[in-house]
Structure 1
Amino acid sequence: MKWESIEPADDRHPKPTVYCPCSAVPDPRGMRAMVGSRALGWRGDMRADSPITQRGRTYVPMLTEHDWYRAEEEQLEVFAPLVPIERVWIELVGYFSDSDPSGPDAPLAIPVGNERRIAGRRIVHVPPENGKEERDLRAISEIFSVGYETFVLTAREADWYRWAWSGKIPAARRLTSQTLWVE
């Protein structure tokens, strides 16, 4: 199966995420991934490392996103279970001509105003002036008002995870809620 990007029909919304088989990605190191199958269920919030081959079978070392960011930041060795490559699905952002019905369903981004709780969730920022998406953000607050405008405090995803292992509160950016989408 060939995964080819196609042009979007509408550029007012964030590009969707889709999942492709890990075997279709040349080097998935550091990419978001899901592990599992339709029959067994799915585990998300994972990052893949480069595949390895043992006794003729290919495996992908998988880390939780928390472990991935800590290992990268602090140059640590962390335990990474080996998952058979056929059970690893890599998240791609964009519009693609192919999809695989045996892979995980990829949710569409939802405007933050349509969600009850957003703190800790993955966020996409789409500024109206240029429409260029900013990903790898986390909401660090719920929606709040200042005057007649509504905002959300956001942080880079790496800083969000650093907060968990170090206690260091991340630098926050206040973004208008109308420009934010929950993944």
Structure 2
Amino acid sequence: METLAADSPRYEFPDPPPPLNAVPAVQCFDMRGARVIVGTPGQGWRTDLRADDPLMRGGKLLVPVLSESDYYRSQDDGTEAMAALHPVESVWVEKPDDAAERRTAAPHLFERLVDIECPPKRWPVPASDVHGLTGRRVWLWRSGEFGTDLRCVSEAFENSDGDIAVKVATERDWYRWARTGKSPTVEEALIHLTWLEA
């Protein structure tokens, strides 16, 4: 029988990661590479985007925004990517809200209703509560902190130790995989240490 150290990840049960809050871009500095949301209050929102630092054009402050796949391609190639220019007032930056209560997303519809005038706060969801994990962005607890910019590349499975786990890869590898066909470097993550960025 296997003997486990008291500090084994099997015995860690950390609080959930902080929720992601949308901060108006006009309140942010150094936006290069930041995850952003674009949209119009009362209409809708687009996520999975990255930004560059704002610029002035025609007397207006604009934020260059591109898809995450284009962002990672430009990072790998060392080239500039074509970005759409959005008015600064239609861009919000995703930031962990470390001051917020540490809890998971509400399970019931009426508890999840939001104000459509601004992007919603995104509470984490335990990976064990979700069907269809493959491709989803996750937080992973490891070495006493939460790792971000990760994607699930498998559904839950039972590993050789009898634990329930998933396989994760960095987002950079995830997008490179789609672009080049090169399989990502993967890491096994215990399901109870993994949360979706819902």
Q: Same fold (TM over 0.5)?
A: yes
Asked whether the 8 Å contact 2:139–2:150 carries over to 1, the reply is yes
Give the TM-score normalised by the residue count of structure 2: 0.80
Q: Quick one: which amino acid aligns to residue 132 of structure 2?
A: R
Asked whether the 8 Å contact 1:48–1:60 carries over to 2, the reply is yes
Superposition map of 1:1-183 within 5 A: 12-96=15-99, 102-127=117-142, 131-146=144-159, 148-183=162-197
Give the TM-score normalised by the residue count of structure 1: 0.87
Unaligned stretches of 5+ in structure 1?
Answer: 1-10
Q: Quick one: which amino acid aligns to residue 39 of structure 2?
A: G
Distance in 2, Cα, partners of 1:101 & 1:137:
27
Asked whether the 8 Å contact 2:43–2:116 carries over to 1, the reply is no
Asked whether the 8 Å contact 1:37–1:104 carries over to 2, the reply is no
1:8 equivalent in structure 2: none
Identity among equivalent positions (%) equals 36
Distance in 2, Cα, partners of 1:47 & 1:148:
38
Displacement of 1:96 after TM fit? Answer: 4.6
List per-residue Cα deviations over 1:24-59 (Å, max 9, x = no partner). 001211000000022221010000111111111011
Unaligned stretches of 5+ in structure 2?
Answer: 1-13, 101-114
Runs of 4+ in 1 over 4 A off after TM superposition: none
CA RMSD, Structure 1 to Structure 2 (Å): 1.7
Q: Greater CA radius of gyration, 1 or 2?
A: 2
Q: Aligned pair count?
A: 169
Displacement of 1:107 after TM fit? Answer: 1.7
CA distance 1:165–1:71, change in 2 (3 Å): same
Distance in 1, Cα, partners of 2:193 & 2:98:
21
Other structure's SS at 2:192 match: helix
List per-residue Cα deviations over 1:101-140 (Å, max 9, x = no partner). 842002211000100111000110124xx54111111000
Asked whether the 8 Å contact 1:31–1:48 carries over to 2, the reply is yes
Distance in 1, Cα, partners of 2:72 & 2:178:
11
2:3 equivalent in structure 1: none
